[in-house]
Structure 1
Amino acid sequence: MRLDLLLTRLRFAKSRAVAQRWIGEEHIRCNGERVTRTDCPIAEGDVLTLPIGQGVMVIAIHSLPERRGPAAEAQSHYTLLNRDS
């Protein structure tokens, strides 16, 4: 699954356009490596580091969502490993 689509379905971004702009800033990491492309493939087991506000959130992807559902459903697809605020 593409990273921009995943960020939208997990409700970190309101739309794919917002996710693409966020990825374009090149602050997101996948498995420790900086992501520079919006179509970066993401698979189960990947670890994402996301800049959220003034802090950083690290999540592990358990499963890939089929749709953009409610927040509780979105949160069931990942585990929060660390959050620095």
Structure 2
Amino acid sequence: MVKARTSAAELVGSGHVRVNGEREKSPGHAIKIGDVITVALDRTVRVLKVTGFSERRGDAAAARVLFEELSEAKRN
């Protein structure tokens, strides 16, 4: 969604992120497998279901296998 942790924290701080339908206020909130994350970004809304975690940070391709896209905006 964004390239840097600081950008992600700014999205949370500005109220653009929901976890399981509740507006998230803390960038450090723990996420679990099965949580649904809603992000308003660039005039679109993406809804993602967390399906896994990685031991280490990786590129965008590696991250794509860790969530299921539920929103219509990015489905092909």
TM-score under structure 1 length normalisation: 0.77
Q: Percent identity?
A: 34
Equivalent-residue separation in structure 1 for 2:72 and 2:25 (angstroms): 22
* More contact order relative to length (CA 8 Å, sep ≥ 6): 1
Matched with 1:52 is 41
Give the one of 10, 27, 30 matched to 2:19: 30
**Alignment-derived partner of residue 6 in structure 1:** none
Q: Could you report, residue by residue, the CA deviation over 1:35-64 in whole angstroms, capped at 9, with x for unpaired residues?
A: 011111101000000112101000000011
1:13 — aligned with what?
2
Contact 1:56 1:83 in 2 (8 A): no
Unaligned stretches of 5+ in structure 2?
none
Structure number having the greater helix percentage: 1
Root-mean-square deviation (Å): 1.5
Give unmatched runs, 5+ long, in structure 1: 1-11
